[in-house]
Amino acid sequence: MKLTRKRILLFTAIFLFLIGMAFTAVYLKSVADYKRAVKETTFGNLDISDVPDGVYVGEYDVDFIYARVEVTVQNGVITNIDILEHKNGRGSRAEAVVDRIMEEQKIEVDAVSGATNSSTVIKKAVENALTG
């Protein structure tokens, strides 16, 4: 039985459509996993005044967003936070959260509006630096 050109094109189109659907399903699952990871991120009750003087590096990764920070503590106070790396979608504004952390001297500060997930990842990277 000889396949006609139309049937070959139809089977090819169906095959490509199914592959596209599979990739879409994998991507949507990745997005759901990322959102769940951010939502399930918790913060401990860290007292910064108990952290010894030093320079600490920490990171946090939830697939779509990653942050690596360097935190400087002197005399029980965070004196500097450098964002060494911040992979994000549109969350670059979230980097302002480090100013809030230094201002309030605590990790649990308000997220930057419009960049909540990136803010959470940066805050957790700071916490990981100071507790890790």
Tens digits of per-residue pLDDT, 93-123?
Answer: 788 999 999 999 999 999 888 888 999 999 9
Q: What is the arithmetic mean of pLDDT over 19-46?
A: 91
Residue 1, pLDDT > 60, answer no
Does residue 121 sit within a domain? yes
Residue with tokens 């000889």, as numbered in its chain? 2
* CA dihedral sign of residues 74, 78, 82, 85: positive
Q: Name the domain count of the chain.
A: 1
Strands across the sheet with 77-87, in order? 54-61, 66-74, 77-87
Q: Name the strand (E) or helix (H) holding 86.
A: strand 77-87
Is residue 25 classed exposed, middle or buried when 0-12, 13-18 and 19+ CB atoms within 10 A define those classes? exposed
- pTM of this prediction? 0.82
Which residues, 6+ apart, have CB-to-CB distance to 123 below 8 Å?
A: 43, 97, 101, 107, 108, 109, 111
Does residue 24 sit within a domain? no
Residue 90, pLDDT > 80, answer no
**Per-residue pLDDT reduced to its tens digit, 59-80:** 999 988 999 999 999 999 999 9
Could you list the residue range(s) of the whole structural domain that residue 71 is in? 48-131
- Which amino acid does the sequence have at 50? D
Residue 89, pLDDT > 80, answer no
Does residue 94 sit within a domain? yes
Does residue 35 sit within a domain? no
Does residue 41 sit within a domain? no
Residue 18, pLDDT > 60, answer yes
Does residue 103 sit within a domain? yes
Does residue 23 sit within a domain? no
Does residue 22 sit within a domain? no
What CATH number does residue 90 fall under?
3.90.1010.20
Give the pLDDT confidence score for residue 63 in this predicted structure.
86
Phi then psi for 29, rounded to 5 degrees?
Answer: -65, -40
For the chain, percent of residues with pLDDT exceeding 90: 70
